[in-house]
Structure 1
């Protein structure tokens, strides 16, 4: 096994992540080989494991990175809203747009086979700690506004579940009809924001 300096390791790791991200988007997890990823940086397949425990762990790492970027953009806009109803609508619209734009995240949501491949090979506690981190700001937002009596008196998990279920409409965009989807989405998001802030 070759020895890499820390600078080389970081450079190789970043390049492998860029290549893997592109391959996962275009071909999916199953059809992307470790050789494809390692050949982009001219290292042997066996050297892959110096950088990542598995292809699935690399996939999850890319998802976490994508998720952190989405959160930074969304919560900045949500926090600018003057009322809770508006903040919920902004969150739904921004998160929906982000999910549509971030194909890797979208693939995991819409492709059951891909989700099962990742979840089978990853330690459930590790996966939960990484992916559930993304719901923490939403839970904190709900908790704070429930305490201020600006959100309905319901379990926090139920409110978060309603918001997350509402985002699942992106999976059904073609079923709804792409030409009417924006209007359906707007009415649904408005209804949810109204109902949660009665």
Structure 2
């Protein structure tokens, strides 16, 4: 098999990433084949494996990219001067939920694909990812405690509360459709009232 130049590799990797976003967002991981991905970018199935070990690794690469953007966008307007901290935290949490629901890759990830991905990916890759996720929440909580915005509760516990809200969103199908929005509203309100220093 003829090798690709560094420029060709860069172009193909970008095309795989973009086509992966489209196909995974539409069909999910299980229903998207390596053949569909490679046909869309004009390379052989064998060539695909010189870029990724599996379609699951491509999906995970896309997922991590989205999560990085997600965190940056969330922090853009968190606790700006002149805005009531309680309202700011409520906005932060609601914005996070809306962003998750509007992103087709995150939406597919929530629809039962997490367990599939965990089975398919190397354990060290998963540990690194979830460690980064925990660090993000912990750093966010500790920064707000340092600034005097959050009450002085144990940081890991508060980080767990944030993750709990996102887990509720990831499992929204288990809630009555008519009451889900109210459940989220109540959770966000309770957490904001409990955490923010008066």
**Fold shared, TM-score > 0.5 on shorter chain:** yes
- 1:47-126 equivalent positions in 2, closer than 5 A: 47-80=47-80, 82-111=83-112, 114-126=113-125
Corresponding residue pairs, total: 195
Deviates more, 1:55-64 or 1:102-111: 102-111
Find the aligned partners of 1:103 and 1:60 in 2 and give their Cα distance. 14
Cα pair 1:84 1:145 within 8 Å, conserved: no
Cα pair 2:25 2:104 within 8 Å, conserved: yes
Aligned-pair Cα RMSD in Å: 2.2
Cα pair 2:63 2:105 within 8 Å, conserved: yes
- 1:157-168 equivalent positions in 2, closer than 5 A: 157-168=156-167
Query: Secondary structure at the residue paired with 2:41?
Result: coil
Query: What are the superposed Cα offsets for residues 74-106 of structure 1, whole Å, 9 maximum, x if unpaired?
Result: 100114254542332122111101100112112
Shift of 1:3: 1.0
Find the aligned partners of 2:42 and 2:148 in 1 and give their Cα distance. 58
Corresponding position of 1:144: 143
Cα pair 2:26 2:104 within 8 Å, conserved: no
Query: Which blocks of at least 5 consecutive residues in structure 1 are unaligned?
Result: none
Shift of 1:27: 1.7
Query: Which blocks of at least 5 consecutive residues in structure 2 are unaligned?
Result: none
Corresponding position of 1:133: 132
TM-score (norm 1): 0.86
Shift of 1:34: 0.6
